[in-house]
Chains A and B, each alone.
Chain A
């Protein structure tokens, strides 16, 4: 190999090494930019506004959490831990309506903040989230909407409307109405033993109500429904494949209904004045704790049912399934 060839080869090697270094530098810079974008700094913002003691408080947030509690002051106080430099807390109060909201979701650094890319990058909110702690007048009506944020409320005596797409909802209920809904989040409610009208529905999440009383309507497709009511008035529980478990006492004239396609239904209800019952299953079994045997609908085909009356039969219990087991007990 002549000297010229060696020189050309040396120059080639030098250029390749420079190109490799440049590529590595570029890659490192890109990684750094992504890392910086991912590690969004967190900051805390606080606001407080005067509010109607019996007004409505509306809270909106996408990701993170919403923690609401009632207090005895005519003010709404908000503390927000914001992760994501574009997120802002807005609080306003007008004509008995106080609105708390987090804005700036989806305004990414890459200038492509459309919802599609938003979902693509991080399943909703990416690295942006806000943890909200809100104190509201105790008698306020609450209207909370979230996407993936978990919702928690306590000590609020007014009506509550809580909804989240995938976040779990946990709430303390008073005697006012409550309407709680999720798509995939679980719902966990705790009553104070006073009569209330509660509606809880989830597509795939579990629904639990403890220490409830009064009316309850709960539905889920695949989640389980568990409720404890004393006394229960009008209860309607329905699933497609989830199990249903109800415990408690029946009030006078109570009406209980449990329906499922393939879920197991268990009612364990005491009733001072007794109740009439009507249980039927197409291919599931029926079991009870008072010694009655189910009757086959046909000598040759499937289907069993059980009807009867305990005590004076003041209340009514109806249960039906396609293939799920049924269990009824009065103690």
Chain B
């Protein structure tokens, strides 16, 4: 087995016995900063030349505003009220699922919750609101159970409930995904023949 030894510039092969024996400063073999500074300066000057005109800046601002407005309108037309459709910001707080569920499932849960946002688009707005409310109910239940588990870690009833509540959430997400398929089937008439 070969022994791994640190290698320092200027090392003479002498064994270091104390930190004090190490050099206080260690200059690089090549000083790259002067070249970098030169290049940065050249790029900055070029940029100033190209963007000097106020007309250009005004045009850019107008363009950005127009692009922003178009994007906003596009999102609004495509998805309705964005605020209504987003998952509540406090949802997904229980990202660190207890060891009773396991880290792999916690990752799967996070992925499922991320995919839920777009799936919700396929629901009628009233259903969407109810599903979001129910997700919060589940989330709150998980937090309650985890808080109880914090006080009584060995409680088998709580562990079982946490796992089942997690499964409820998976079931809900699966139902929303299925509802998207139902919507397609009902709209396009694609039956199960």
Contacts and interface: CB of A to CB of B under 8 A. Distances in A.
Given A115-B187, A116-B121, A165-B123, 10 more contacts: A61-B186, A116-B80, A143-B191, A165-B124, A181-B178, A184-B126, A203-B134, A282-B158, A282-B161, A283-B148
A183 B186 contact: no
Contacts of B131: 183-184, 203-204
B161 A320 contact: yes
Interface residues of A, number: 57
B174 to A, nearest CB: 10
Nearest to B74: A116
A102 to B, nearest CB: 7
A101 interface: yes
B104 interface: no
A276 interface: no
Contacts of A115: 121-122, 187
A99 interface: yes
A322 B122 CA distance: 33
Given A145-B186, A165-B182, A241-B141, A222 B134 contact: yes
12 contacts: A58-B191, A103-B188, A123-B125, A165-B127, A165-B179, A166-B123, A204-B131, A221-B172, A240-B134, A261-B165, A301-B152, A320-B161
Interface of A: 56, 58, 60-62, 90, 94, 97, 99, 101-103, 105-106, 112, 114-117, 119-120, 123-124, 143, 145-149, 163-166, 181, 183-184, 201, 203-204, 219, 221-222, 238, 240-241, 259, 261-262, 280, 282-283, 301-303, 320, 322-323
Contacts of B130: 183-184, 203-204, 222
- Interface of B: prevailing SS: helix
A282 B148 CA distance: 9
A136 to B, nearest CB: 14
B187 to A, nearest CB: 5
A119 B80 contact: yes
Contact of A303 (B76, B157, B176): B157
A58 B182 CA distance: 13
Contact of B187 (A90, A147, A238, A261): A147
B95 interface: no
B154 to A, nearest CB: 11
A303 B80 CA distance: 46
B175 to A, nearest CB: 6
Interface string B150-169: 01100101101100110010
A117 B77 contact: yes
B133 interface: yes
B124 A147 contact: yes
B79 A116 contact: yes
A270 to B, nearest CB: 28
Given A58-B193, A282-B157, A201 B175 contact: yes
Contacts of A105: 187
Nearest to B78: A116
Contacts of B172: 203, 221
Contact of B123 (A58, A120, A183, A261): A183
Contacts of B179: 165, 183
Contacts of B137: 221-222, 240-241
Contact of B144 (A90, A165, A183, A323): A323
A144 to B, nearest CB: 9
Contacts of B105: none
B122 to A, nearest CB: 7
Contacts of B164: 238, 259
Contacts of A204: 127, 130-131, 133-134
B183 interface: yes
Nearest to A165: B179
A60 B186 contact: yes
Max chain A C-beta neighbours (<10 A), residue from B77, B78, B127, B175: B127
A116 B125 contact: no
B133 A222 contact: yes
B171 interface: yes
Contact of B148 (A112, A119, A123, A322): A322
B185 interface: yes
B138 interface: yes
A164 B183 CA distance: 9
Contact of A124 (B124, B165, B190): B124
A112 B79 CA distance: 13
A66 B137 CA distance: 32
Interface string B87-122: 000000000000000000000000000000000011
